[in-house]
Amino acid sequence: MTRPKNKPKRQTVDRFRVFNAFIDFTLRELSRTESAVWLVLYRDTKPDGIAKTSQADIAKRCGMSDRTVRRVIRRLEQLGLLLVVHRGGLQQGATAYRVFPMSRERLDKL
């Protein structure tokens, strides 16, 4: 059985829900650099919910320094918008992140 052409894939619908929740509840509270890093990581998120991206690549795409990216990632972790699943490094591959549209604290208030 095939899916009707006008019906979007479930994964696409879920991605828009996450993106909309981020815009509606979180974006206004973040700095420009925090928003940019979150968006790059969210764009890189695979169907398993994990984004594997180097900090150097994030810095290049956002137009900021590696040091700023490290600071922003720590801040996003503190806010509950990001979870570092695997720390990458030399001979270990890229760091893996799980990206959330809002903090657990805000989600519990809804």
pLDDT digits (tens, 9 = 90+) for 61-76: 999 999 999 999 999 9
What's the token pair of residue 29?
Answer: 């509270």
Who contacts 97 (Cβ-Cβ below 8 Å, separation ≥6)?
Answer: 41, 50, 51, 52, 53, 73, 82, 83, 84, 85
CATH class assigned to 10-109: mainly alpha
What's the token pair of residue 37?
Answer: 């890093």
- List, for residues 8-42, the tens digit of each pLDDT value: 577 778 889 889 989 998 999 999 999 999 999 99
pTM of the entire predicted model: 0.83
Spans of all domains in the chain: 10-109
